[in-house]
Amino acid sequence: HRSSVRLPNMALSQKEQDIQLMLAAQCHLGTKNLNFQMERYVYKRRNDGIYVINLEKTYEKLQLAARIIVAIENPQDVVVQSARPYGQRA
């Protein structure tokens, strides 16, 4: 099916373009379960019970993580972990 999310264009800032790409990839869709530590990152809960993630806050945390990673002298010291199958393919 066709997505209603617009793809980035040059009129948008880099942050806005990145958030549009995250929307297109459905990064904003969570699960029906909510860990109390994640509550501050939730935008809202849909009628079907799926939690919608605040991509502005996600973007800020990704920027923080990127700054930390590039500051590490030896890239081999960086480890990425994911319990999800799609994260393990990345």
Cα dihedral value 87, 48, 20, 27, nearest 10? -10
Mean pLDDT to the nearest integer, 68-72: 93
Helix (H) or strand (E) holding 9: none
Q: How far apart are CA 62 and CA 51, in angstroms?
A: 19
Given pLDDT bands bounded at 50, 70 and 90, which one contains residue 3?
A: low
pLDDT for res 9: 58
pTM: 0.72
Given pLDDT bands bounded at 50, 70 and 90, which one contains residue 11?
A: confident
Q: Could you state, in order of their start, the residue ranges of all structural domains in the chain?
A: 29-71
